[in-house]
């Protein structure tokens, strides 16, 4: 693997709306992020990805952009953004913006002009179609947020536009060179400002199988999951390669793709030495157990499943490139609530999970609040839910025979609000996130789980994350943790996740007891040094170690 400036870094995702509110309007903002830069630096973050903060009606929380060149006033101003980039740079931190170019907002100029003149220049920026001869929609795909992907074009009774997400997110037509040029121009404008790069949203959707046609119906709504089209898709590489050559490559920028369906043989093209992207997320564990029928049919992941998913990805990627490792993001439930069996989430198990995912090969990402062990939030009624995807999933569950209780439980387990509740800074009102009324409920457990309570406690989850970032980047071990081979250990042991990281003469063993009960595990050779332990003691001799419940050890052999 060719060495790159961002290898060996630690990345952190900020969901601006929920991070820190500086002016008391209940909405997190850029000034709030600037105020927390020293905190992030001290945690060990080198790269910050900001979920969208461009001008937006926030129909999908900013993933519906109405103006790519301006900051939404709710988040601040372009001056704030420039200051954030400059202040971050002073601390050797790079800023990534979220690149949402599969679609824009229906309130974007382009779409307004397309409505005025559907067959003119801007009409061709979108997919605008007539109904079929029998009056039916141009095809039967289901949008990600439920219902058909077609919506009547405002002002034109006989025309429809395509939206694979919400109807306020019309898809951009990537087949149109003029549109692509506009996108590259915008990306370069941002990169010239000094951005370190982009996280690229929903990018697999930019290539459609054309002409539009039906796929097999797979739910009671008579529609077909969009995945059925994506399986057949070819040719996306032409767009992605062009994007790389025109934007990322000349800027030596970092790019991380939200890619879900890459085939094994495509991995070198995606993240190899001259790949489309610097990195892409490992979603193997994220999508594990997901049912086409909806969230209420999802299967829960066990510790063994989790380990197998991680190792499967590690084997697929090998030395081809650098995958990005996460346990949560703004679309997913909290990692501590998902990957640790129900009832077992506590500081010890959270630290174990942290060490296990953080030290595998790839770029480790921390999602805001993860470093203090934030958890999912209980809900008692659908009225408390904000996320459009959760609301759709709730209705899908009910329509398919789930009881109210089952439907709510599915939202509690999977809902996107879980990760979007405000950051829990301290035990004062609203967890210190805002002096006003927070836009989304604060998790009531903030009185116990908050940064202030953990900051000076050497045994806190927060300080364990600090130790992890320091260990991973320490000059002595940086090479091994960054480029060293990953070899699974005790792969068939129930509730154990263990692996070696090795390069040259250095051999590190990471070993977690993924259960409440203690278990004794063999050591392949004597331990030279304990690098990290989530408990005070390590009960071992030359050949074995008695692991306490949810204990994790990182040792040099």
Write out the catalytic residue numbers: 201, 258
| Choice from 25, 331, 344, 384 touching ligand TEU (CB under 6 A) | 331
| Choice from 13, 18, 324, 389 touching ligand TEU (CB under 6 A) | 389
Using DSSP, state whether 148 is helix, strand or coil.
Answer: strand
| Binding pattern for the stretch 60-79 against Ca ion, x by CB under 5 A and - elsewhere | --------------------
When CB distances to ligand TEU are compared, the closest residue is 63
From CA 28, how far away is CA 431, in angstroms rounded? 13
Could you tell me which stretch among 23-31, 53-61, 87-95, 364-372 binds Ca ion (CB under 5 A)?
23-31
Between the two ends of the chain, the Cα-to-Cα distance in Å is: 25
Q: Which does 23 bind (CB under 5 to 8 A by kind): Ca ion, ligand TEU, none?
A: Ca ion
Find residue 182's DSSP bridge partners.
none
Which are the contacts of 316, defined by CB distance < 8 A and separation ≥ 6? 264, 267
Closest CA relative to residue 499, chosen from 516, 515, 481: 481
Least separation in angstroms between CB 202 and ligand TEU: 4
For ligand TEU, the closer of residues 276 and 500 by Cβ is 276
Positions in 79-138 near ligand TEU (CB under 6 A): 100
Could you tell me which stretch among 26-34, 91-99, 154-162, 268-276 binds Ca ion (CB under 5 A)?
26-34
Dihedrals phi, psi of 306, to nearest 5 degrees: -60, -50
Q: Which does 165 bind (CB under 5 to 8 A by kind): Ca ion, ligand TEU, none?
A: ligand TEU
For Ca ion, the closer of residues 73 and 475 by Cβ is 73
Angle between helices 388-399 and 404-414 (to 10 degrees): 150
Using DSSP, state whether 528 is helix, strand or coil.
Answer: coil
- Quick one: tokens of 146? 């439920």
Integer CA distances (angstroms), 445 to 115, 171, 377, 416, 431, in order = 47, 39, 9, 18, 9
144 binds ligand TEU (CB under 6 A): yes
Contact (CB, 8 A) for 85 and 39: no
201 binds ligand TEU (CB under 6 A): yes
From CA 412, how far away is CA 254, in angstroms rounded? 34
3-state helix vs strand vs coil in the chain, percent to 5: 35, 20, 45
| Choice from 27, 323, 340, 497 touching Ca ion (CB under 5 A) | 27
Least separation in angstroms between CB 436 and Ca ion: 8
Q: Which does 29 bind (CB under 5 to 8 A by kind): ligand TEU, Ca ion, none?
A: Ca ion
For ligand TEU, the closer of residues 63 and 296 by Cβ is 63
Least separation in angstroms between CB 451 and ligand TEU: 25
Q: Which does 144 bind (CB under 5 to 8 A by kind): ligand TEU, Ca ion, none?
A: ligand TEU
15 binds ligand TEU (CB under 6 A): no
For Ca ion, the closer of residues 70 and 516 by Cβ is 70
150 binds ligand TEU (CB under 6 A): no
- Quick one: tokens of 366? 């921390």
For Ca ion, the closer of residues 29 and 106 by Cβ is 29
Closest CA relative to residue 324, chosen from 13, 5, 3, 53: 13
For ligand TEU, the closer of residues 389 and 482 by Cβ is 389
Instruction: Give the DSSP letter of residue 247.
Output: I
Is the omega angle on the peptide bond into residue 211 within 30 degrees of 0, that is, cis?
Answer: yes
328 binds Ca ion (CB under 5 A): no
Closest CA relative to residue 108, chosen from 150, 53, 67: 67
For Ca ion, the closer of residues 55 and 336 by Cβ is 55
From CA 500, how far away is CA 124, in angstroms rounded? 53
Q: How many degrees, rounded to 5, is the angle at CA 197 between CA 193 and CA 198?
A: 115
Q: How many degrees, rounded to 5, is the angle at CA 246 between CA 244 and CA 250?
A: 85
Positions in 399-458 near ligand TEU (CB under 6 A): 416
29 binds Ca ion (CB under 5 A): yes
Least separation in angstroms between CB 20 and Ca ion: 9
Which are the contacts of 454, defined by CB distance < 8 A and separation ≥ 6? 372, 460, 461, 462, 463
Which are the contacts of 112, defined by CB distance < 8 A and separation ≥ 6? none
Q: Which does 21 bind (CB under 5 to 8 A by kind): Ca ion, ligand TEU, none?
A: Ca ion
Contact (CB, 8 A) for 322 and 276: no
| Choice from 202, 225, 259, 280 touching ligand TEU (CB under 6 A) | 202
Q: Which does 202 bind (CB under 5 to 8 A by kind): ligand TEU, Ca ion, none?
A: ligand TEU
Contact (CB, 8 A) for 420 and 388: no
Positions in 31-70 near ligand TEU (CB under 6 A): 60, 63
Least separation in angstroms between CB 75 and Ca ion: 8
| Binding pattern for the stretch 160-199 against ligand TEU, x by CB under 6 A and - elsewhere | -----x----------------------------------
Instruction: Please report, as ranges, the residues that interact with Ca ion according to CB under 5 A.
Output: 21, 23, 25, 27, 29
Instruction: Please report, as ranges, the residues that interact with ligand TEU according to CB under 6 A.
Output: 60, 63, 100, 144, 165, 201-202, 258, 330-331, 389, 416
């Amino acid at each position: 693997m060719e060495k790159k400036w961002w290898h060996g870094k630690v990345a952190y995702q900020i969901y601006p709306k929920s991070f820190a509110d500086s002016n008391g309007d209940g909405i997190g903002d850029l000034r709030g992020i600037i105020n927390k830069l020293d905190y992030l630096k001290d945690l060990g973050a080198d790269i910050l990805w900001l979920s969208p903060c461009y001008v937006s009606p926030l129909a999908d929380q900013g993933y519906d952009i109405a103006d790519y060149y301006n900051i939404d006033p709710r988040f601040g101003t372009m001056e704030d953004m420039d200051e954030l980039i400059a202040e971050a740079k002073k601390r050797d931190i790079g800023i990534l913006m979220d690149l949402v170019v599969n679609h824009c907002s229906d309130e974007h100029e382009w779409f307004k002009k397309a409505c005025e003149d559907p067959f003119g220049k801007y009409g061709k920026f979108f997919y605008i179609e007539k109904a079929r001869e029998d009056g039916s929609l141009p095809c039967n795909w289901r949008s990600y947020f439920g219902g058909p992907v077609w919506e009547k074009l405002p002002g034109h009774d006989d025309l429809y536009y395509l939206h694979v997400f919400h109807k306020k997110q019309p898809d951009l037509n990537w087949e149109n060179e003029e549109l692509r040029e506009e996108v590259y121009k915008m990306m370069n404008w941002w990169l010239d400002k000094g951005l370190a790069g982009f996280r690229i949203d929903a990018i697999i959707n930019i290539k459609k199988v054309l002409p539009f046609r039906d796929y097999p119906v797979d739910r009671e709504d008579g529609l077909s999951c969009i995945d059925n089209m994506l399986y057949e898709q070819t040719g996306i590489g032409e767009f992605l390669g062009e994007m790389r050559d025109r934007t990322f490559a000349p800027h030596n920028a970092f790019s991380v793709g939200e890619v879900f369906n890459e085939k094994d043989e495509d991995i070198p093209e995606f993240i190899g030495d001259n790949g489309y992207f610097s990195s892409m997320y490992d979603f193997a564990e994220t999508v594990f157990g997901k049912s086409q029928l909806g969230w209420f049919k999802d299967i829960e992941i066990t510790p063994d499943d989790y380990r197998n998913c991680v190792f499967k990805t590690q084997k697929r990627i090998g030395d081809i490139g650098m995958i990005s490792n996460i346990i949560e993001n703004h679309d997913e439930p909290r990692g501590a609530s998902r990957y640790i069996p129900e009832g077992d989430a506590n500081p010890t198990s959270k630290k174990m999970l942290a060490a296990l995912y953080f030290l595998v090969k790839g770029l480790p990402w921390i999602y805001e609040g993860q470093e203090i062990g934030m958890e999912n939030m209980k809900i008692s009624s659908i009225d408390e839910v904000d996320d459009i995807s959760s609301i759709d999933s709730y209705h899908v569950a009910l329509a398919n025979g789930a009881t109210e209780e089952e439907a709510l439980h599915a939202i509690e387990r999977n809902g996107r609000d879980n990760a979007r509740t405000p950051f829990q800074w301290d035990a004062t009102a609203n967890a210190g996130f805002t002096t006003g009324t927070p836009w989304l409920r604060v998790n009531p457990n903030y009185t116990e789980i908050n940064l202030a309570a953990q900051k000076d406690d050497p045994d806190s989850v927060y300080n364990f994350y600090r130790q992890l970032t320091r260990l991973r980047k320490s000059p002595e071990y940086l090479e091994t943790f960054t480029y060293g081979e990953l070899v699974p250990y005790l792969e068939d042991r129930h509730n154990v996740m263990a692996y070696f990281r090795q390069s040259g003469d250095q051999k590190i063993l990471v070993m977690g007891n993924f259960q409440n009960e203690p278990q004794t595990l063999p050591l392949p050779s004597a331990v030279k040094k304990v690098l990290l332990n989530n408990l005070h003691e390590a009960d071992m001799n030359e050949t074995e170690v008695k692991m306490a419940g949810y204990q994790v050890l990182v040792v040099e052999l």
